[in-house]
Amino acid sequence: MKPPSAPLPPPLADPALAAMVERVDAPGMLARAVGWSEMQTGTGNLPGLAAQATALADAFAALPGEVVLEPADPVSAIDAEGRETLIERGRNLVLSVRPDAERRFLLTGHMDTVFPADTGFRNVREIEPGVLGGPGLADMKGGIAVILEALRLFENVPEAGRVGYDVMINSDEETGSGGSAALIARLARGKYAALTYEPSTLPDGTFAGARGGSGNYSVIVTGRSAHAGRNPQDGRNAVVAAAEIAVRLAALSHPDLSINPAKIEGGAANNVVPDHAVLRFNIRPKSAAAAEAFASALKALLDDVAASRDVGVHLHGGISRPPKPVDPRAQALFDTVRDCSALLGLAFARRDTGGVCDGNNIAAAHVPVVDTMGVRGGSIHSPDEFMIVDSLAERAQLSALVLHSLATRGL
């Protein structure tokens, strides 16, 4: 396929800024994004992620600073039998540049995709002129290419020396960042602002504003088995108890909190009162207050069912993505992105969303973040995923201008 030419931005009043954005290497960005997309990196594909991490470490070594591949924390999960297991995740890339600078930023992305190692969706293809389809091309191998190019552009201006930054590319964002949550929290601490490179929420480049939170839970119910015909009264039916919890959980939903009971596992033969069940459910609170109120209501619900059904109930899980409001400093960062978009002649729009990402975790550290700085595209998490090629250069130029503004004017 023929690499695109770099789109020409409208003339910038500042010659230094104009020179900075004109250095964008659109063909190089495209080649990197395509090559990374064709590396299979589903969250559970540890060999694929290891190869991707090595390739990214080589690429980001072109920037000043130190590149480290940090091991992930083990992730705790509950299997169908109610046993706690540990899941291994891939290593996470961290680049640290000018760590002693007074003003520092955080830029984040993820190398994992939702596509397993045996996926049939493997190769990048041209859907139409200027639009490519490929696994993780928009979400977010293209976004990683934007990070690298934006920093390369920014490092060409003297103002970059005033500030520092960390880059983190994690390996488990698509499953909630359980193995990298502590790393995100550590890197976010004390940062002036953050940019995350999820694709835009719509192909027109719309940015995500406020986000709700997300939590995943497993309820392990332990009953007592008995013969379904001879002495059912001696049993304690774990499946019935789990079903009651599911129905009562659904009834707790309200406009600021959606609750989705998703799966019940367990049971036994038809002539046995089942003594084991696992209920899985997800919650989406729109505010911290809604999340706190749910935690209290959940405890009361589980205690009541345990007592009334005479079963054991154990809760595993919690909120992994806190709600992300747009506070005054976040609004100021959005204003900076809007103003820099105007300099490039790019449209700017923002809307709130129910989706979650690592931006939620960064905002929980009280750091302003815009978390859809990646490419324009769509149909993510499906074999129809696509990326608009011109957006690679657009978004790299935009990020470089945003970083320059943050370095020189601040929020």
Concatenated DSSP letters for 92-137? Answer: EEEEEE-TT-SEEEEEEEE--BS--TT-S--S-EEEETTEEE-TTI
Unique residue bearing structure tokens 């010659």: 15
For each of the domains in the chain, give its residue range(s) and CATH number, in order of start: 15-76+87-211+324-408 (3.40.630.10), 214-321 (3.30.70.360)
**Residue 343, SS3 per DSSP:** helix
Number of H-type helices and E-type strands within the chain: 10, 18
What's this model's pTM, rounded to 2 decimal places?
0.94
Q: From 287, 391, 405, select the one nearest 335 (Cα to Cα).
A: 405
Between CA 110 and CA 93 the distance in angstroms is: 9
Q: Could you give the angle at which helices 238-250 and 288-309 cross, rounded to 10 degrees?
A: 150
Q: What is the pLDDT of residue 12?
A: 84
Is the CB of residue 74 less than 8 Å from the CB of residue 87?
yes
Between CA 190 and CA 195 the distance in angstroms is: 14
Q: What is the pLDDT of residue 6?
A: 45
pLDDT per position in the chain (411 positions), as tens? 444 444 444 568 899 999 999 999 999 999 999 999 999 999 999 999 999 999 999 999 999 999 999 999 999 999 999 999 999 999 999 999 999 999 999 999 999 999 999 999 999 999 999 999 999 999 999 999 999 999 999 999 999 999 999 999 999 999 999 999 999 999 999 999 999 999 998 899 999 999 999 999 999 999 999 999 999 999 999 999 999 999 999 999 999 999 999 999 999 999 999 999 999 999 999 999 999 999 999 999 999 999 999 999 999 999 999 999 999 999 999 999 999 999 999 999 999 998 999 999 999 999 999 999 999 999 999 999 999 999 999 999 999 999 999 999 999
The CA R_g of the chain, rounded to the nearest whole Å, is 24
Q: What is the pLDDT of residue 11?
A: 63
Q: What is the pLDDT of residue 10?
A: 57
Q: What is the pLDDT of residue 202?
A: 87
Residue 314: burial class (beta carbons within 10 Å; 0-12, 13-18, 19+): middle
Q: What is the pLDDT of residue 136?
A: 98
Is the CB of residue 359 less than 8 Å from the CB of residue 211?
yes
Q: From 172, 169, 182, select the one nearest 53 (Cα to Cα).
A: 169
Type of residue found at 367: V
Between CA 160 and CA 152 the distance in angstroms is: 10
**Parallel/antiparallel/unpaired status of strands 103-110 and 193-196:** parallel
Type of residue found at 241: A
Q: What is the pLDDT of residue 23?
A: 97
Between CA 250 and CA 239 the distance in angstroms is: 17
